[in-house]
Structure 1
Amino acid sequence: MKFEDKVVLVTGASRGLGAAIARAFAAEGARVVVNYKQNRELAEAVASEIRGHRDPGGRYRPSTGVGHVPANRVSISRPRRNCDQQCTSPFEFNGDAARPRLAQVTWAAFDQQLQGAVRGALNTTQAALPRFSEIGSGRIINIGSNLVANPVVPYQDYTAAKGALLAFTRTCAAELGPRGITCNMVSGGLLRTTDASRSTPDAVFDQVAAAAPLRKVATPEDVAGAVMFFASDWASAITGQNLNVDGGLVMS
């Protein structure tokens, strides 16, 4: 799966899942744009890490398209908290009393999540469309959550935003398909290990792994592999799909 001469913009790529996706594409020869929201230093570190990669002969070659873009060009939202950030079991959260339930959650919380998930996707998609039109093809891969299909934790605002992003993904797929542009979604769950899940107790990972048919907790690299598949020529006839990468916890 090679991506030489392909330009890949990875939003939120300064850390965690985004950084793993950026590294994976760069390792396959893509010219990667490292997007970040706030931490320029981390973004620079990821970009520096992936500027040189080994060619088939074992020599390092430069990846000249690596850079970074401030996320205010993508979204005006604050950083989103991943659903696994405070998880202490598949159904309970550390400090759960502080997490607003349905009777207390505000529209402002929904708006913040929608700004990040849907407005961010809209702005990024619109920015890419002129170039996609020039080349006659394109790949859009949005990042969702398995909570949309299996809402086991009280993250109404986050889950609703990801559900809206799934609808947006499918609507884009229907409209953009005749132009040679595919639009798909990859949805993970609890990941081992990102900044968001670093404080998650080992017992929680064990519980999630035990419930998954594959008896494992997915990693950022697992999700990155699915993203790369959707971006590859192997997925040229696939659009409007949502692929859950969570060890089989959610099957659809």
Structure 2
Amino acid sequence: MRDQIVLVTGGARGLGAHLVQAFLGEGARVVINYLGSAGAASDAADQAGERAIALRADVRDPAQVAALVEQAGTHFGAPVTTVVNNALADFSFNGDARPNAEQLRWQHLSAQFEGTVRAALNTVQAALPGMRAAGFGRIINVGTNLFQNPVVPYHDYTAAKAALLSLTRTLSHDLGPHGVTVNMISGGLLRTTDASAATPEAVFDVIAAGTPLRRVTTPAEFADAALFFASPWSRAVTGQNLIVDGGLVKG
């Protein structure tokens, strides 16, 4: 892990901040990507010293992503080897406030596809030359257990994440010969991130009651799974979707 340079998109706050701290805790060098949270990103980078850099880029823009990866490589003197596609386009996990079937419009779906699928494509394409040169790469995509358990009408979010799962599996086949693994981690509702702060407390209670562990997964527990996929212990695992939700959803 100490040899890896890890790009965490949307790494300044919420789940991204926990992912950043998890990788820093294992000695990795980390690129903290942010869009609007400059203060939080800078603070996290300052606390990590020379092992982190905060770089702004809208991951929906391929030119900005390419510039970020190039700047990170120059700063650390080595290419980005691990990408965690975590950034989430503006979204609030409150089912009562999301569009239902009658209200859903294509622009809702399009916005999530831009922020999820296009963003992941941009980061992969920007980092891939460095990964190929190193003969090593790890791509970790953040998914959702709503594929298997669509209990709330997050139509736009879930559709985009489902497309990202398909991209995860096709990329794993395409990039495997280059020593690059591609996997997805699908959490459930996490307690608590910025996005889940709008979730009513009763929803957390219902989910906790339905899990074998009788509690809601934390962002730190989710981040542990990302460490596994980045580590040598997962070297023979690719194209997989690991559900990390306390056992709520099976398979």
State the AA in 1 paired with 2:119. Answer: G
Q: 1:243 aligns to what SS in structure 2?
A: strand
State the AA in 1 paired with 2:48. Answer: I
Distance change >3 Å, CA 78–CA 20, structure 1 → 2: closer
Query: How many pairs are equivalent?
Result: 226
Q: Is the 1:27–1:50 contact (alpha carbons within 8 Å) kept by the matching residues of 2?
A: no
Counterpart of 1:59 in structure 2 is none
Counterpart of 2:60 in structure 1 is 75
Distance, in Å, in 1 between the alignment partners of 2:55 and 2:145 is: 28
TM-score, structure 2 as length reference: 0.86
Q: Is the 2:88–2:116 contact (alpha carbons within 8 Å) kept by the matching residues of 1?
A: no
User: Structure 2: which 5+ residue stretches go unaligned?
Assistant: 62-86
Counterparts of 1:1-252 in structure 2 under 5 Å? Answer: 3-51=1-49, 64-72=50-58, 74-76=59-61, 79-82=89-92, 85-86=93-94, 93=95, 96=96, 98-252=97-251
TM-score, structure 1 as length reference: 0.85
State the AA in 2 paired with 1:165. Answer: L
Distance, in Å, in 2 between the alignment partners of 1:144 and 1:80 is: 16
Q: 1:198 aligns to what SS in structure 2?
A: helix
Distance change >3 Å, CA 21–CA 4, structure 1 → 2: same
State the AA in 2 paired with 1:13. Answer: G
Q: CA deviation at 1:78?
A: 8.1
Q: CA deviation at 1:250?
A: 1.1
- RMSD over aligned CA atoms reads 1.6
Q: CA deviation at 1:222?
A: 0.8
Distance, in Å, in 2 between the alignment partners of 1:17 and 1:217 is: 14
The 4+ residue runs of structure 1 with deviation greater than 6 A are none
State the AA in 2 paired with 1:113. Answer: Q
Q: Is the 1:23–1:50 contact (alpha carbons within 8 Å) kept by the matching residues of 2?
A: no
* Identical amino acids, percent of aligned pairs: 54
Q: CA deviation at 1:192?
A: 1.0
Counterpart of 1:54 in structure 2 is none
User: Structure 1: which 5+ residue stretches go unaligned?
Assistant: 52-63, 87-92
> What are the superposed Cα offsets for residues 35-58 of structure 1, whole Å, 9 maximum, x if unpaired?
11111111112222333xxxxxxx
> What are the superposed Cα offsets for residues 28-79 of structure 1, whole Å, 9 maximum, x if unpaired?
100010011111111112222333xxxxxxxxxxxx241122232x215983
Distance change >3 Å, CA 241–CA 78, structure 1 → 2: closer
Q: CA deviation at 1:80?
A: 2.9
Distance, in Å, in 2 between the alignment partners of 1:110 and 1:199 is: 20
Counterpart of 1:58 in structure 2 is none
Distance, in Å, in 2 between the alignment partners of 1:143 and 1:99 is: 21
